[in-house]
Amino acid sequence: MNIDDLCWQVRHHAGVPPRMVRALLDLGQSELLVRAARERGDWNCAEAAARALAAAGEFDRALALLDPFTEIGWRAAEWVTAEVMISRGEADEALAMVRPDAAELGDGRVCARYAELLAQAGRTEEAVELLAPHLGERRFRSHLVELTEGRGCDDLVLDALTRAAEHPEEHPAGPADGAGAVCERCGRAGGAAPRGDRWDVLLLISRVLERAGRADRAVELLRAETASGRRHPVGFPEHYARLLARQGLVEELGALAAADPYPAFEVYARALEDAGRADEAEALLRAEVEAHDHPKDRTALMHLLVRRGRTDEAVEAGRPTYAYDDCWNLLPWALELLVDDGRPDRAFELLGTLTGAYVAEHPEQIGRLRLRLLGAAGRCPEGIAEATALNRRQPGAWDTALAGLLERDGRPEEALALLRSSTHPSARRDLADLLLRLGRPAEALAAVPTVAEQRAAAARRQRGAARRRERDDPWPATDRPAPEPPF
């Protein structure tokens, strides 16, 4: 392992995928992760395995696993080493080892990570103080609220957030302030929330008030802000709506939904349903769909109908979206609803009724939905025949769909062989997933290329892309016109 490979792994989300790491942990395969960390130098495996070992009380093994990473100066390994030491009762030594120096105190990311360790060590007041100069940035405000939850310091957090909301015009946060910027008026280091972020600070304050048992004060705060007439992004009224719903203030929520339906209406309908007024909720959603025909409202109506056991009506409610050429196309979900309801044949009927531009322009999407339904209906031989024919026309493009049908048909070895030889971009991932489902975790891990192999493959792809650009470029390098200025 080397720093360059580790940086590339993090930057490109490479190595053993975190999803697979979690799956191996859930299967009790932490020793496989230990071995992968040692043999492959995979940081995702090392980090997860070290934490798993520490959680099991095997602190020495966890630290030994991290040593090769810390020895080459990998900072992330130093942070996890400190976590393990704190868990072992060596908080002072751990914090001293990774304490930010004077220059790093201006780096919010470093301070946020160190604040996590302070909170873990029970020194939450210091964590709040450390993050205070960085609360002009939204991500660090959210981080402060999250890491202090349940640690008995809500008043401190409220004070820090309140101070961050003061004097927004005097010292707005941002890169222009520079590290350690000081407000000339109040003399406080760091930057307060810019005027545009005021709403975000108020939402976080309301969140802390609610968890501190002062929900009435949280409601008053957001009620006053809403009544101010200031414009807010969608997230603000939706947060307010959910707060009202949690507090059972259904009538006030209804008034909010009437005034600003897009962010609040779905929350209001669900609150009515939870209050035993499902018929009223359904009527309101249907009226909203009739008035505005927004897919968001159709989705809410479908969810309500499914919860009420009326799947066919839910499918019909989504029908107008089945020709949409965007993420609001609810056709895959409708088919899934029918399959989950034990009626794949009804899903086939629905798919067969679709006509028009969407079907003509998306043959691959329709084909994949059909193959999935054939598998769900137990018609695997028919699906295998169709996928094989499609693969002849588009070699490799249907490998993963065909492998899924082979697995469903009780032919896992054929599915494995196909995925091992496939050039489909998802084949290696699907191969590892299939091996996990078959109870072969060591083979699943071995199917994932090492970081070095992934990096070499990425370099080959880049070289190939460069050659294609050079081949297709009509201008020789010496005659290529200069690029136009961006403005």
Rounded mean pLDDT of 319-340? 92
To which CATH superfamily is domain 373-447 assigned? Tetratricopeptide repeat domain (1.25.40.10)
Task: Work out the number of other CB atoms within 10 angstroms of the CB of residue 324.
Answer: 13
Are 147 and 123 in contact, with CB atoms under 8 Å apart?
no
DSSP line for 419-451: HHH---TTHHHHHHHHHHHTT-HHHHHHTSPPH
Distance of CA 195 to the CA centre of its chain: 28
Task: Work out the number of other CB atoms within 10 angstroms of the CB of residue 476.
Answer: 8
pLDDT reading at 231 higher than 90? no
| pLDDT 10s digits, 296-312 | 999 999 999 999 999 99
Q: What's the confidence (pLDDT) of residue 475?
A: 57
| pLDDT 10s digits, 255-307 | 999 988 888 899 999 999 999 999 999 999 999 999 989 899 999 999 999 99
Of the chain, the percentage scoring pLDDT greater than 70 comes to 91
pLDDT reading at 219 higher than 90? yes
Are 118 and 124 in contact, with CB atoms under 8 Å apart?
yes
The structure's pTM equals: 0.84
Domain coordinates of the chain in residue numbers? Answer: 253-308, 310-361, 373-447
Q: What's the confidence (pLDDT) of residue 476?
A: 56
- C-alpha torsion sign, points 475, 477, 479, 484: positive
Lowest average pLDDT, out of 25-34, 320-329, 378-387, 405-414, goes to 320-329
Query: Which distant-in-sequence residues (6+ apart) come within 8 Å of 286 by Cβ?
Result: 301
Distances (CA, A) of 344 to 57, 304, 308, 349, 453: 49, 22, 20, 9, 42
| pLDDT 10s digits, 396-426 | 999 999 999 999 999 999 999 999 999 998 9
Q: What's the confidence (pLDDT) of residue 430?
A: 95
More confident residue, 69 or 264: 69
Q: What's the confidence (pLDDT) of residue 229?
A: 83
Residue showing tokens 């588009």: 394
Buried b (16+ CB within 10 A) or exposed e, 65-98: bbeebbeeebebbbbbbbbbbbbbebbeebbeeb
CA distance 312 to 297: 17
